[in-house]
């Protein structure tokens, strides 16, 4: 049996999405910037997709700008704001658990002379609103806090953060790549100025994302060249990808509440059964304020990569919280930020569910994972000490 539980890494393209994309890969190949009929057909398709995504955010189509993915959207929001407002100030606030697209963009800006405050989080992954208020200075120009964490699933108090940003007249960006398609985000109600989203997290194609940019907010361009995307993002549009993104977004928000309820039930079933079956296990992330599809567990006395390989051998695809980037021997920066020791962080496993996940697959994982953990623990000297009562 093959079970894919790595939906936070990427998702398959749904048949309806592929069907919408196919004409623009084969027959309707005009450049949207061209004035002839072929170009106009492609331009119309881009406009339809922009409308579809705008509706899911209760935004104006004029506020949606297509990018090459979530990382580009993050970089554009952060660097574009920094350079546009550097005459006003050079201080940025973010968190210690952001995606590397945000963290590395901020590190780059630090080398350019900007100051960045990295807010800590508590053991569940939440920032302190008081810490945020205290971090704001007279030269603070941007707050960037992810909507929900990609590793542990914790959902931040975005509305409250946005209100604080508004009170201090500071722009607010949120990386919602993991959230989009799971939670309703109403930009008419949500005090957020910029939102990064991506297609391949909600059953759309890879290589396409978008930045919601609230009307009136002006940031510098990241990519220079032609006049695409209302002269804000150069480069010939990825028509098929954009069409797929629009369709995927439309499908995701057709009945998002029913979708969340189903995944929440499967998530809790998986989490509870594993924690009841396997001793010395802890849940990472907030127990309630978390994404409906995220289970992140730490198993003491074992090493994450060995667990991943063992799961792969029985047909289960998951990810480990023990490495932020491929080839890294360091534990996840997110798990260290919530207070886990290196030892426990190395034994972490992220299981993320999706639309194709079934109860049968959950049952299979619950059947296969406990003996894998036990076998790995039996090889651990630390576990032997625990069994002998010496720890």
pLDDT 10s digits, 17-45: 999 999 999 999 999 999 999 999 999 99
Residue from 68, 53, 50 nearest 208 by CA? 68
User: Is 181 part of any known ligand binding site?
Assistant: no
Identify the band that residue 327 occupies on the pLDDT scale cut at 50, 70 and 90.
Answer: low
User: Is 198 part of any known ligand binding site?
Assistant: yes
User: Is 390 part of any known ligand binding site?
Assistant: no
What DSSP line would sit under 238-296, residue for residue?
Answer: -HHHHHHHHHHHHHHTTSHHHHHHHHHHHHHHHHHHHHHHSSSEEE-S-SSSB-TTEEE
Higher pLDDT among residues 380 and 79, named by residue: 79
What DSSP line would sit under 34-62, residue for residue?
Answer: -SSHHHHHHHHHHHHHHHHHHHHHT--GG
Q: What is the tens place of the pLDDT at every residue in 240-291?
A: 999 999 999 999 999 999 999 999 999 999 999 999 999 999 999 999 999 9
Backbone angles phi, psi at 39, to 5 degrees: -70, -40
State the catalytic residue, choosing from 324, 336, 382, 386: 324
User: Is 199 part of any known ligand binding site?
Assistant: yes
Return the SS3 of 148: strand
State the residue for tokens 């993002």.
233
Backbone angles phi, psi at 32, to 5 degrees: -60, -20
Which pLDDT score is estimated for 383? 73
Neighbours of 136 (CB within 10 A): 18
**Where are the chain's structural domains?**
15-252, 255-382
Average of per-residue pLDDT values in the chain: 95
Q: Is 106 a catalytic residue?
A: no
Token output for 58: 């209760």
Token output for 362: 């959950």
Q: CATH assignment of 15-252? A: 3.40.640.10
Bridge pairing between strands 140-144 and 91-95: parallel
Indicate the CATH number of 255-382 among 2.60.120.10, 3.60.15.10, 3.90.1150.10, 1.10.150.530. 3.90.1150.10
Which pLDDT score is estimated for 331? 86
Report d(CA 170, CA 189) in Å as an integer: 17
Token output for 274: 């594993």
Return the SS3 of 310: helix
Given a cut of 70, whether residue 321 has pLDDT beyond it is: no
């Amino acid at each position: 049996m093959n079970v894919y539980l790595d939906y936070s890494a990427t998702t398959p393209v749904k048949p309806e999405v592929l069907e919408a994309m196919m004409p623009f890969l084969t027959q309707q190949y005009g450049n949207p910037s061209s004035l002839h009929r072929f170009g106009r057909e492609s331009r119309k398709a881009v406009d339809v997709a922009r409308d579809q995504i705008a509706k899911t955010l209760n935004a104006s189509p004029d506020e949606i700008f297509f990018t090459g993915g979530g990382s580009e959207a993050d970089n554009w929001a952060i660097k574009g704001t920094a350079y546009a407002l550097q005459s006003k100030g050079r201080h940025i606030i973010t968190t210690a658990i952001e995606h590397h697209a945000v963290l590395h963009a901020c590190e780059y800006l630090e080398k350019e002379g900007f100051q960045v405050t990295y807010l800590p989080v508590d053991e569940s992954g939440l920032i302190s609103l008081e810490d945020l208020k205290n971090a704001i200075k007279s030269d603070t120009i941007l707050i960037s806090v992810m909507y929900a964490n990609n590793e542990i699933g914790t959902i931040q108090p975005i509305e409250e953060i946005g209100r604080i940003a508004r009170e201090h007249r500071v722009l607010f960006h949120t990386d919602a790549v993991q959230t989009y398609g799971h939670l309703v985000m109403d930009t008419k109600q949500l005090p957020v100025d910029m939102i990064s989203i991506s297609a391949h997290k909600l059953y759309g194609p890879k290589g396409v994302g978008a930045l919601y940019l609230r009307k009136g907010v002006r940031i510098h361009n990241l990519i220079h060249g032609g006049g695409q995307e209302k002269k804000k993002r150069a480069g010939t549009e990825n028509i098929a990808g954009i069409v797929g993104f629009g369709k995927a977004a439309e499908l995701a928000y057709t009945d998002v509440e029913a979708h969340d309820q189903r995944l929440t039930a499967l998530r809790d079933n998986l989490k509870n059964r594993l924690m009841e079956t396997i001793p010395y296990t802890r849940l990472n992330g907030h127990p309630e304020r978390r994404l409906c599809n995220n289970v992140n567990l730490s198993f003491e006395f074992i090493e994450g990569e060995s667990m991943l390989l063992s799961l792969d051998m029985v047909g289960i695809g998951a990810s480990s919280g023990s490495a932020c980037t491929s080839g890294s021997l360091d534990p996840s920066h997110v798990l260290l930020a919530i207070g886990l020791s290196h030892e426990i962080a190395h034994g972490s496993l992220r299981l993320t569910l999706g639309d194709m996940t079934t109860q049968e697959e959950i049952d299979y994982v619950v059947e296969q994972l406990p003996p894998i953990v036990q076998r790995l623990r039996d090889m651990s000297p630390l576990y032997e000490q625990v069994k002998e009562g010496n720890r």
